[in-house]
């Protein structure tokens, strides 16, 4: 009787296995839809976030993407952004001087790094490298049709 029950279990497992194989071989695979109309997506820059903090995204405002080119020694001038910014350094290096209270914070970012500028940040971006610096900027929270940059007076806390 013991042999009979082991034989029954084996037969049941074999039957279940064959049924599963039959279903698997006859199943109609799902088809993915290919992009149409020549759609492509080309990453323009990518960087690892090296800063701390977040920026808000608000419904009804614009999100602007821009390529910022900094020749050697050039700067953005003191400014802020209405909804903050995310910068991705594509080439070269950029030093961000932030006026924080009565002192200056300076952080240098190089190709392959990214950073966040909060809406309250007053800063100046300076190419402190030896080649032209390219920074892709993503600016959320821009008033519809408005500027991504708000010029600010020099706070007098940083050397530049």
Domains along the sequence of the chain with CATH:
48-151 (2.60.120.10)
Report the C-alpha gap between 83 and 45 in whole angstroms.
21
Q: Does pTM top 0.85 for this prediction?
A: no
**pLDDT of 39:** 56
**pLDDT of 93:** 97
**pLDDT of 41:** 57
Report the C-alpha gap between 112 and 87 in whole angstroms.
11
DSSP conformation class of 75? B
**pLDDT of 68:** 93
Tokens of 20: 């599963």
Report the C-alpha gap between 5 and 1 in whole angstroms.
6
**pLDDT of 44:** 72
For 15, 20, 87, 121, the CA distances from 118, given in Å and listed in that order, are 64, 56, 11, 5
pLDDT in tens, the chain (160 residues): 455 455 555 544 444 444 443 444 444 444 454 554 565 556 776 777 787 777 777 888 889 999 999 999 999 999 999 999 999 999 999 999 998 888 999 999 999 999 999 998 999 999 999 999 999 999 998 998 889 999 999 999 998 7
**pLDDT of 57:** 77
């Amino acid at each position: 009787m013991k042999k009979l029950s082991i034989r029954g279990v084996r037969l049941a497992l074999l039957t279940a296995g064959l049924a599963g194989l039959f279903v698997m071989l006859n199943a109609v695979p799902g088809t993915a839809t290919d992009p149409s109309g020549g759609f492509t997506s080309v990453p323009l820059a990518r960087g690892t976030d090296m800063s701390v903090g977040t920026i808000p995204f608000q419904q009804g405002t614009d999100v602007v993407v821009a390529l910022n080119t900094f020749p050697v020694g050039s700067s953005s001038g003191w400014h802020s952004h209405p909804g903050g910014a995310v910068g991705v350094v594509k080439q070269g290096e950029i030093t961000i001087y932030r006026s924080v209270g009565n002192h200056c914070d300076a952080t240098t970012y190089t190709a392959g790094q990214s950073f966040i500028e909060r809406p309250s940040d007053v800063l100046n971006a300076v190419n402190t490298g030896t080649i032209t610096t390219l920074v892709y900027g993503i600016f959320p929270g821009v008033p519809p049709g408005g500027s991504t940059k708000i010029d600010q007076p020099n706070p007098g806390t940083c050397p530049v």
